[in-house]
Amino acid sequence: MRSSDVRQHRALQVLHTCAAVLASVALLVPVRAAAQDLGVIGPVYAIAEPNLMEVILARLREAEASGALAKLQREARSGAKREVEHPAAVTRVTKTTRPRSFYYDPTIVVPYPITDAEGRVIVSPGTQVNPLDTVSLSKQLLFFDARDAGQIKRARQLLDRYHGKVKLILTGGSYLDLARKWRLPVYYDQQGALTEKLRIGHVPALVSQDGKRLRIDEIL
């Protein structure tokens, strides 16, 4: 190979090497540029977020100044008083139209072992327990709706018949009004828990103990 050809060949190699280096540098540029500070583009504003507690306090101050807060307080007190004096009626229980009598067995089956303070098993799982074995029903339970004048009259008759040994339990009406009027304790079947447990569907209903069972009479 002539000397001129050798020089030309070496020049081409150098050009190829330079091109490869430039290509590698070009690939690295985006990576380096991503880590650089590009400066500020457009106006910059500080992040401002109101303090939540300050907003709440400001709203309360506004409500107090306008009288809205006092109004809400009055409405809350009034609503609470209504709920206490007139609890929600047990809507699933209706007035008796046809008398019926049935029994309820309060026996339960213990689902897990009951132990004493030292861990000794005193009641084994599967044991049947009847509360009436240890506690007797000292008074009959009378469920009735005080919104019905006829049921109030019937309740009064039963009170007199059993010489006051009747526990009065309302399914509707104001127990406080009746307690003040009769000067007797009057209870309320909150959310229908007792009537549902005893499977009472109609009132007036009188519950009494009959041996180890409870007898339930839905009466007129």
- Cα 175 to Cα 84, 97, 179, 185, 197, distances in angstroms: 9, 24, 6, 9, 21
Q: Decide the pairing of beta strands 166-172 and 114-115.
A: unpaired
* Residuewise pLDDT in 10s, the chain (220 residues): 554 454 555 544 544 544 454 444 444 444 444 445 555 555 665 655 667 878 788 888 888 888 887 777 776 666 656 666 678 999 999 999 999 999 999 999 989 888 989 889 888 899 999 989 989 999 999 999 999 999 999 999 999 999 999 999 999 999 999 999 999 999 999 999 999 999 999 999 999 999 999 999 999 9
Cα(200)–Cα(158) distance, rounded to whole angstroms? 18
Report domain extents, the chain.
52-85, 94-106+135-218
**pLDDT computed for residue 66 by the predictor:** 86
Quickly count helices (H) and strands (E) in the chain. 6, 12
